Amino acid sequence: MPTFEVKMTKRQAEKEMGNERRVNCVSNELAQMFVEKKVLKPKMKSEVPQNNRKKPIRLSCRYDIKYDGDGIFDKDKARIVAT
């Protein structure tokens, strides 16, 4: 059964989902990246060598509302992407 999704910016997600749902899905995504899967390791600026401080990895967030094949709400999802 196909899944449909609606992709949104932060403002669109705030309007469509409300603050609590939006923050919850971002929190889940960040916990998954940093704690569960250890994709990235956060560091304090003082821990980063001087020559590596010029180009930090910038992250942005995209939001999805997923629906199942019948058009029924399935879940909210946030994606953290490097920009």
| Angle of CA points 23, 29, 35, to nearest 5° | 120
Rounded to two decimals, what is the model's pTM?
Answer: 0.72
When pLDDT is cut at 50, 70 and 90, the band that residue 70 belongs to is confident
Which distant-in-sequence residues (6+ apart) come within 8 Å of 70 by Cβ? 1
**pLDDT at residue 36 in the model:** 93
Chain position carrying tokens 């990246």: 33
CA distances from 38 to 29, 33, 42 (A): 12, 6, 10
